[in-house]
């Protein structure tokens, strides 16, 4: 009984408010005065006080550990915010300034263009540079926003229609580069309630697949891109023949690696491999249970 009392007091001082623990100690001492001989009370009270001090010491130690953890968390947050501000500044001072220069040069050249065949590629350069400029500033705004949260919002979207727009636009660009291939998209064409982060990643990996074709394929190699949208899954398969006679641009692999990490965080997978003279990219992004279709 005495051991149990000492243990209870130690736990009380370790995990309960100090006022509650002191009340428990007082009740225990008063109870001892009535049920225990006088000569034994002092020794028992001393042990109870020692148990209480031991529990309180544990509480101080736990509090110290928690404060140290909170301090590390605050320091890490400050470090991340500082790094993000530095990245935003570098992005603005390099990428956006270079894009502005590209737009300016192309706009000047288009004035001197004598026919439509010369103006068309310049107009495409201007349009794509302005698109990249807007996206770069969106990233800068995200990096500089200290009040943003990690909660992913959801929005209703026509996912198949949005991906079809990207397919049509990118297919036309590949045709302008004399790259011959097929682009196919099938599946559910109704509205879907999708996390904004998942939706952005789907659009991003589709754009990245086409960008890799432009960077690493050489005519007359052909390609095939197939996308399927189901109520619970997005699938993408991209294949292109490798022209072994012409050395393509050396890939860095950073783009696909970043996408792989993001897709895996959603529970999906990205596989990229070379099978003899064919490059294959497979992507699966689940639309998990929190992402449900809305019937028309």
pLDDT of the chain along its 296 residues, tens only?
Answer: 555 665 665 566 566 666 666 666 666 666 655 556 655 656 555 655 666 666 667 777 788 888 888 888 888 888 877 777 777 777 777 788 788 888 888 888 888 777 887 888 888 888 888 888 888 888 887 777 755 555 467 778 889 999 999 999 889 888 887 888 899 999 998 888 888 889 989 998 998 899 888 877 766 668 899 999 998 899 999 998 876 655 544 455 667 888 898 899 889 999 998 887 788 999 999 986 444 444 44
pLDDT at 290: 47
For residue 219, the model assigns a pLDDT of 67
Classify 178 in phi/psi space as left (phi over 0), alpha (psi -120 to 50) or beta: left
pLDDT of residue 291: 42
Query: What pLDDT shows up at residue 186?
Result: 94
Residue 281: in which H helix or E strand, if any? strand 278-286
Report the predicted TM-score, pTM, of the whole model to 2 decimal places.
Answer: 0.61
Q: How far is CA 194 from the centre of its chain?
A: 15
Assigned token pair, 256:
């696909």
Which residues have C-beta within 8 Å of that of residue 254, sequence separation ≥ 6?
none
Return the half-sphere exposure (C-beta side, CA atoms, 13 A cut-off) of residue 101.
Answer: 7
């Amino acid at each position: 009984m005495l051991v149990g009392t000492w243990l209870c007091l130690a736990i009380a001082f370790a995990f309960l408010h100090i006022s509650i623990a002191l009340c428990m100690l007082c009740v225990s001492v008063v109870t001892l005065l009535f049920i225990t001989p006088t000569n034994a009370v002092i020794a028992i009270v001393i042990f109870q006080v020692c148990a209480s001090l031991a529990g309180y010491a544990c509480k101080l130690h736990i509090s110290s550990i928690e404060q140290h953890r909170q301090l590390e968390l605050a320091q890490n947050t400050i470090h991340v915010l500082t790094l993000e501000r530095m990245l935003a500044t570098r992005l603005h001072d390099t990428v956006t300034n270079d894009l502005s220069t590209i737009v300016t040069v192309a706009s000047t050249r288009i004035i001197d263009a004598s026919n439509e065949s010369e103006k068309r590629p310049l107009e495409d350069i201007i349009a794509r540079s302005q698109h990249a400029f807007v996206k770069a500033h969106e990233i800068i705004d995200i990096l500089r926003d200290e009040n943003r949260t990690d909660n992913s919002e959801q929005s209703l979207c026509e996912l198949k229609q949005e991906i079809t727009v990207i397919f049509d636009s990118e297919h036309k660009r590949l045709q302008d580069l004399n790259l011959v291939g097929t682009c196919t998209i099938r599946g559910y064409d109704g509205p879907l309630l999708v996390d904004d982060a998942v939706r952005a990643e789907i659009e991003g990996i589709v754009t990245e697949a086409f960008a890799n074709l432009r960077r690493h394929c050489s005519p007359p190699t052909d390609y095939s891109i197939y996308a399927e949208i189901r109520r619970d899954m997005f699938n993408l398969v991209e294949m292109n023949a490798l022209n072994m006679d012409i050395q393509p641009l050396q890939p860095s692999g950073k783009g696909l690696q970043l996408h792989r990490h993001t897709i895996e965080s959603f529970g999906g997978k990205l596989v990229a491999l070379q099978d003899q003279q064919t490059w294959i990219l497979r992507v699966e992004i689940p639309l998990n249970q929190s992402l449900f279709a809305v019937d028309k």
